[in-house]
């Protein structure tokens, strides 16, 4: 982790990063303990995973969906704005390489979000809401047969952002990185860190919740 990102993690801006997405959906839908735990995730390299089963699946999904909205409405547009600012002052091989990479990355990232919003979250909502007492075994089996869980594997969407630093330093060589590119790189590093925390919540909170619920339902049929 760069010094820039490390400084961010250690500062009060952590709270802004977490709470600004709460403004995108009704804040009262969040449990205070969940928000406290999410703040711990952002402030620690190895956040705690004990006791996470006490949070509800919808609560976790609300937060992840709020993050998606933040990425689409604020984070990506701000990064693209920086690229447009650079384009006004620089027109060289480095800029073209960054534009090419980021355009491809954005396509993959948007598809990743669409998959979760279209396939994963609706299924998990049904999984949470199903009442085994009033649902037949056939209906339970039908729901489980629609599970996207097996095909869902958190890809390395955040790892790809490391290439931005590689691209910039490759083209700059031993020369100092121009200031506009430094600003752009800082934005991307912060985004990368945020995505890693996002992935941690998905992999260590949401998915285990869903797997436990699926196992409970499978035991009934």
The Cα 131–Cα 134 span in angstroms is: 6
Domain coverage including residue 191? 3-218
> 44 in helix, strand or coil?
coil
**Number of domains forming the structure of the chain:** 1
CB-CB neighbours of 127 under 10 Å: 20
pLDDT in tens, 85-139: 888 877 778 778 888 888 889 998 999 999 999 999 999 999 999 998 899 999 9
Distances (CA, A) of 114 to 84, 117, 122, 157: 26, 5, 12, 13
pLDDT, position 172: 73
Q: What is the pTM for the complete model shown?
A: 0.83
Tell whether the model's pLDDT for residue 8 goes beyond 70.
Answer: no
Span 165-169, mean pLDDT?
A: 79
Tell whether the model's pLDDT for residue 190 goes beyond 80.
Answer: yes
Tell whether the model's pLDDT for residue 67 goes beyond 80.
Answer: yes
The Cα 153–Cα 116 span in angstroms is: 11
pLDDT, position 98: 85
pLDDT, position 29: 66
The Cα 180–Cα 164 span in angstroms is: 14
pLDDT in tens, 9-66: 555 667 777 778 877 766 556 777 888 888 888 877 776 676 666 788 998 998 899 9
Tell whether the model's pLDDT for residue 214 goes beyond 90.
Answer: yes
């Amino acid at each position: 982790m760069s010094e820039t990102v490390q400084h961010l993690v250690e500062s009060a801006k952590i709270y802004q990063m977490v709470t600004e997405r709460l403004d995108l959906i009704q804040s009262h839908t969040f449990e205070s303990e969940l928000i406290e735990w999410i703040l711990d995730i952002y402030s620690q390299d190895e956040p705690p995973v004990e006791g996470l089963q006490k949070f509800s699946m919808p609560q976790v999904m609300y937060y992840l969906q709020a993050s998606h909205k933040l990425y689409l409405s604020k984070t990506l547009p701000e990064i693209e704005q920086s690229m447009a600012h650079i384009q006004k002052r620089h027109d060289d091989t480095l800029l073209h390489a960054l534009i090419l990479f980021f355009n491809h990355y954005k396509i993959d990232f948007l598809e990743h979000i669409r998959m979760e919003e279209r396939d994963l979250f609706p299924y998990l909502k049904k999984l949470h809401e199903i009442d085994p007492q009033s649902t037949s075994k056939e209906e339970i089996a039908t729901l489980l047969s629609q599970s996207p869980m097996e095909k869902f594997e958190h890809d390395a969407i955040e790892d790809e952002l490391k290439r931005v630093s590689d691209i910039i330093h490759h083209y700059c060589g031993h020369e100092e990185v121009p200031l506009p590119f430094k600003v752009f790189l800082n934005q991307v590093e912060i985004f990368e860190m945020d995505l890693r925390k996002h992935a941690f919540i998905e992999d260590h909170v949401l998915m285990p919740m869903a797997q436990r619920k699926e196992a409970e339902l499978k035991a009934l049929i």
